[in-house]
A and B are shown apart, each in its own frame.
Chain A
Amino acid sequence: MTGESLHATGETLYPRLEPLLAQVQKPIQYVGGELNAQVKAWDDVAVHWALMYPDAYEVGLPNQGLMILYEVLNERPDALAERTYAVWPDLAALMREHGVGQFTVDAHRAVADFDLLGVSFATELGYTNLLEALDLAGVPLHAADRDETHPVVVAGGHAAFNPEPIADFVDCAVLGDGEQVVGDITDVVKAWKEQGRPGGRTELLARLARVDGVYVPRFYAVSYGPDGAIAAVTRTRDDVPARVGKRTVMDLDEWPYPKTPLVPLAESVHERMSVEIFRGCTRGCRFCQAGMITRPVRERTITGIGSMVDQGLRSTGYEEVGLLSLSSADHSEIGQLAKELADRYEGTNTGLSLPSTRVDAFNVTLANELSRNGRRSGLTFAPEGGSERIRRVINKTVSKEDLVRTVTTAYANGWRQVKLYFMCGLPTETDEDVLEIADLAVEVIKAGRAASGQKDIRCTVSIGGFVPKPHTPFQWASQASAETIDHRLRVLRQKINEDRRIGRSIGLRYHDGKPGVIEGLLSRGDRRVGRVIERVWRGGGKFDGWSEHFSYDRWTAAAAEELAPFGVDLDWFTTRERTQHEILPWDHLDSGLDKEWLWDDWQDSLSEEEVADCRWTPCYDCGVCPTNGTEIQIGPTGRSLLPLTVVGR
């Protein structure tokens, strides 16, 4: 096929799609036309990107990552970007029947026509939806079967830090922040096309593999030892890096995206706009992959945030703004920011919110400021572990007294409901650690009733099963089995219900342990797991993040069949504890974290030793800054927000 054109017509599929839309649920999610959406002429640009969020539109549309890249790419005169989302089974069946391929919602172009398909994986449970989209698009499932007429499939997002389970299906994976690397990839594709596609697809991928942060799995061979573990990962060409590093955007103020957030007609999971106030976190919570792979902390300045909030509200008409980050109360200017934003938008019916999860009284003060004259419905804290002991293990240290005092302060300030997030199945956890959640909730309700003088306060305990993730100190840990999780949740529920007078004020939200086991397989899996994913998809698996579609039995059956020939099984990938020197599937992918530091932190965890935050204490040599040539970027800047003439006053 070398030298031939891509036949990328870019023609709209809408006339063929429209009759199908009349027959499906919530057709509005497929028609595009969102406020601030962009459609560019196909022939005006050299490089065409389809950007996919591999879940339903209502989940994918608000995704910040996709929105950022959509704008960054469309600002380039030589590129266009359109969006595509997972199609529900009702429409997928009609598309197959009528020969309509996976399409973008912007101009309803065939995904197969694009030069690149970028897929953002926030969670591994989107993998089957990738296969479904590729199949609907008419793109070969296996990267090895694609030729230069097919899009280059690029995986990104946090799950891309271990893309090995989908290594057969993607052409590249991108590590780290996407803002700059999408430009570099665009340049490479553009130059290769303009030169007449020298060397075909292989040459294009080789050039991409030399872009900082881009991993091309086909140029790395994996071999396995007799024990089933990886024996070696070796590159097959010497012009690609032995280890692939991650990308880091250093000055967030230079990247104020999204500038004009998309506003859907359809209902989505976040009916508000979001402004990312900083990226990265060095709190050092050992379970938290995001906090490990996004280091170092880089703050947006108070004035940068102020102008994004202002411009975003003007361009969307949203009535609520969320100030996003991994731990928003840690921004060095947060107190001033909360006050000045609350001043600025007072009397305009504009809501401000902080995903407030850290357990301390300052968080309540901030939430009070942001809800100055609004409803105080619910406040969320995330102690994560039920006992002080387990909180030392995970390095989320807060004493029981502080926790109760913080929550009581919230009730005393008029907050009616407090939500507490916990995890179950943490390393070294026993039934007793989990049962302490009940004691805590009971104390919180008693103290809250006393402080507020009201009986109608509520405490919702929300529990997720812990899944060990790559590039964290818990990457070696044994994952708790579904039976263990389910048992602990059962005894916890019994204990909460022991005293009905208190128990009726406590809500318990949880999921059974099964989906977590599959997430664990996909998180710490290697290339052999790809066969399991493919078998599950061929058996009808998709939308695995949705309980009505997820089938544990299909996954376990596929894992048993496909892994047996390699002498490994589901437990080998999940409940098995790894040894110090085992080659992990993602060891050749460099998040900047030093593996020895991670191991030491894992050992510290087992002896219940804490580590401080390097923003306020000296560097503890996690390795990220020297490896990547980065450093912490925090304020305060000393600047303040000027008053504005605001919308709706």
Chain B
Amino acid sequence: MARQPEGPPPPPTVQKLRLRYAKRGPLRFASHRDLARALERALRRAQVPMAFSAGFSPHPKISYVGAAPTGAASEAEYVEIGLAQARDPEAVRAALDAALPPGIDVLECVEAAEGGGSLADRIDAAAWRVELPGVALAELQHAVETFLASDVVMVAKRTKNGLRDIDARAAVVSASGAEEAGCAILGVVVRQVTPAVRPDDVLAALAAVADLRPPSPPRAVREAQGRLDDTGNVADPLGPDRAARTPRQGEHAVV
């Protein structure tokens, strides 16, 4: 007879909180796994009363939503956590932000609305901003126009099953070139597809159609994630939760 944990099962989830956080500066080099570890430790340090799974290796209830690739910064990463005791979302945000290393910054925390559907269902596209130091704006604009005028642009992508050719064009909703402080900026909105089309793939496509080859590594920032609306914009995935929110009686702003 195998051993079983003694005592009652762990307390259930009584509150779900949804967080938006950023990865900035040098921490853009953190991978999804790095971020997950940092978050779990910060939750313990911040003494957030997490709900845990049952068994000998209890895991805190955390659901991650599509992480930005290693090397890309982001202003819009999302995660949902399950708590065993209800807490004020803003107090959790502040405590967690203080417990995380600088560069992983918790920007928002809202309570998930009952029956509002999952966070993942509210995200099907991302808006990216890619800084291209050393690239001339005219060159970028020409490349973007050529790319948008193409129906299909195949690029080689490294997947876990090896190199694979994918179409980088179909997933792109919009793309444009701009300039800020003398640096060319590519703005691009990409639909979530499998395998994913990421800024690197779009840049590979620009190289393929117009021979755009940045002299130094581009810096990508995911600026927003959410559901694509009819106008081609990305909607805030926490919007429905925020709208449904009515303040609770007797809530304390402590964690």
Centre residue among B33, B35, B37, B44 by max chain A CB count within 10 A: B44
Separation in Å of the B207 CB from the closest CB of chain A?
16
Separation in Å of the B12 CB from the closest CB of chain A?
16
The segment out of A29-37, A144-152, A176-184, A353-361 that lies at the interface is A29-37
Check if A647 sits within 8 Å of B57, measured CB to CB.
no
CA distance A28 to B69 in the complex (A): 12
Separation in Å of the B217 CB from the closest CB of chain A?
4
Check if A375 sits within 8 Å of B56, measured CB to CB.
yes
Question: Of residues 168 to 207 in B, which have CB atoms within 8 Å of A's CB atoms?
Answer: none
Check if B31 sits within 8 Å of A34, measured CB to CB.
no
Centre residue among B5, B26, B40, B70 by max chain A CB count within 10 A: B26
CA distance A31 to B29 in the complex (A): 8
B40 — which chain A residues lie within 8 A by C-beta?
317, 319
Centre residue among B3, B7, B31 by max chain A CB count within 10 A: B3
Check if B216 sits within 8 Å of A265, measured CB to CB.
no
Check if B44 sits within 8 Å of A373, measured CB to CB.
no
Check if B102 sits within 8 Å of A33, measured CB to CB.
yes
Separation in Å of the A108 CB from the closest CB of chain B?
9
Check if A28 sits within 8 Å of B70, measured CB to CB.
yes
Check if A317 sits within 8 Å of B7, measured CB to CB.
no
B34 — which chain A residues lie within 8 A by C-beta?
28, 265-267
Check if B26 sits within 8 Å of A267, measured CB to CB.
no
Check if A317 sits within 8 Å of B99, measured CB to CB.
yes
Q: Decide yes or no whether B229 CB sits under 8 A from chain A.
A: no
CA distance A267 to B31 in the complex (A): 10
Separation in Å of the A24 CB from the closest CB of chain B?
9
Knowing A265-B101, A349-B52, say if A28 contacts B47 (CB, 8 Å): no
Q: Decide yes or no whether A414 CB sits under 8 A from chain B.
A: yes
Knowing A265-B101, A349-B58, A375-B56, say if A28 contacts B31 (CB, 8 Å): yes
Q: Decide yes or no whether A153 CB sits under 8 A from chain B.
A: no
Check if A647 sits within 8 Å of B44, measured CB to CB.
yes
* Contact among B3, B5, B37, B50 for A267, CB-based, below 8 A: B37
Separation in Å of the A311 CB from the closest CB of chain B?
12
Size of A's binding interface in residues, CB under 8 A:
34
Check if B43 sits within 8 Å of A27, measured CB to CB.
no
Separation in Å of the A404 CB from the closest CB of chain B?
22
The segment out of A15-23, A60-68, A165-173, A284-292 that lies at the interface is A15-23
Q: Decide yes or no whether A489 CB sits under 8 A from chain B.
A: no
* Contact among A33, A267, A314 for B45, CB-based, below 8 A: A314
Check if A648 sits within 8 Å of B44, measured CB to CB.
yes
Question: Of residues 23 to 78 in B, which have CB atoms within 8 Å of A's CB atoms?
Answer: 26-27, 29-31, 33-35, 37-38, 40-45, 47, 50, 52, 56-58, 70-71
Q: Decide yes or no whether B6 CB sits under 8 A from chain A.
A: yes
A572 — which chain B residues lie within 8 A by C-beta?
none
Q: Decide yes or no whether A196 CB sits under 8 A from chain B.
A: no
Question: Of residues 257 to 310 in A, which have CB atoms within 8 Å of B's CB atoms?
Answer: 263, 265-267, 271
Separation in Å of the B27 CB from the closest CB of chain A?
6
CA distance A376 to B3 in the complex (A): 9
Centre residue among A33, A263, A414 by max chain B CB count within 10 A: A33
Check if B57 sits within 8 Å of A265, measured CB to CB.
no
Check if B70 sits within 8 Å of A27, measured CB to CB.
yes
Check if A317 sits within 8 Å of B45, measured CB to CB.
yes
Check if A265 sits within 8 Å of B30, measured CB to CB.
yes
Knowing A267-B34, A349-B58, say if A317 contacts B29 (CB, 8 Å): no
CA distance A316 to B41 in the complex (A): 7
CA distance A207 to B17 in the complex (A): 61
CA distance A22 to B47 in the complex (A): 35
Separation in Å of the A37 CB from the closest CB of chain B?
8
Separation in Å of the A415 CB from the closest CB of chain B?
10
CA distance A18 to B58 in the complex (A): 38
Check if B29 sits within 8 Å of A21, measured CB to CB.
yes
Check if B45 sits within 8 Å of A375, measured CB to CB.
no
Check if A35 sits within 8 Å of B41, measured CB to CB.
yes
B103 — which chain A residues lie within 8 A by C-beta?
33
Check if A32 sits within 8 Å of B217, measured CB to CB.
no
Q: Decide yes or no whether A318 CB sits under 8 A from chain B.
A: yes
A265 — which chain B residues lie within 8 A by C-beta?
27, 30, 34-35, 37-38, 101
Question: Of residues 211 to 244 in B, which have CB atoms within 8 Å of A's CB atoms?
Answer: 216-217, 219
A21 — which chain B residues lie within 8 A by C-beta?
29, 71
A315 — which chain B residues lie within 8 A by C-beta?
45
* Contact among A19, A33, A314, A373 for B27, CB-based, below 8 A: A33
CA distance A316 to B102 in the complex (A): 15
Q: Decide yes or no whether A374 CB sits under 8 A from chain B.
A: yes
Check if A22 sits within 8 Å of B71, measured CB to CB.
yes
A375 — which chain B residues lie within 8 A by C-beta?
56-57
Check if A33 sits within 8 Å of B42, measured CB to CB.
no
| Complex: chain A residue closest to B42, CB-CB | A317
Check if B47 sits within 8 Å of A647, measured CB to CB.
yes
| Complex: chain B residue closest to A646, CB-CB | B47
Knowing A33-B101, A316-B45, A647-B47, say if A19 contacts B38 (CB, 8 Å): no
CA distance A349 to B30 in the complex (A): 26
Q: Decide yes or no whether A219 CB sits under 8 A from chain B.
A: no
A32 — which chain B residues lie within 8 A by C-beta?
26
Separation in Å of the B221 CB from the closest CB of chain A?
13
Separation in Å of the A169 CB from the closest CB of chain B?
31
Q: Decide yes or no whether A421 CB sits under 8 A from chain B.
A: no
User: Known contacts A28-B27, A32-B26; can you find 14 more A-B pairs with CB under 8 A?
Assistant: A19-B217, A22-B71, A22-B219, A26-B31, A33-B101, A33-B102, A265-B27, A271-B37, A317-B40, A317-B43, A317-B99, A319-B40, A349-B58, A375-B56
Interface of B toward A, CB cutoff 8 Å: 2-3, 5-7, 26-27, 29-31, 33-35, 37-38, 40-45, 47, 50, 52, 56-58, 70-71, 99, 101-103, 216-217, 219
The 9 closest A-B pairs by CB, nearest first: A317-B41, A375-B56, A31-B26, A22-B217, A317-B45, A27-B29, A317-B44, A265-B34, A414-B3
Can you give 6 contacting A-B residue pairs, CB < 8 Å? A26-B31, A265-B27, A317-B42, A317-B45, A318-B44, A373-B7
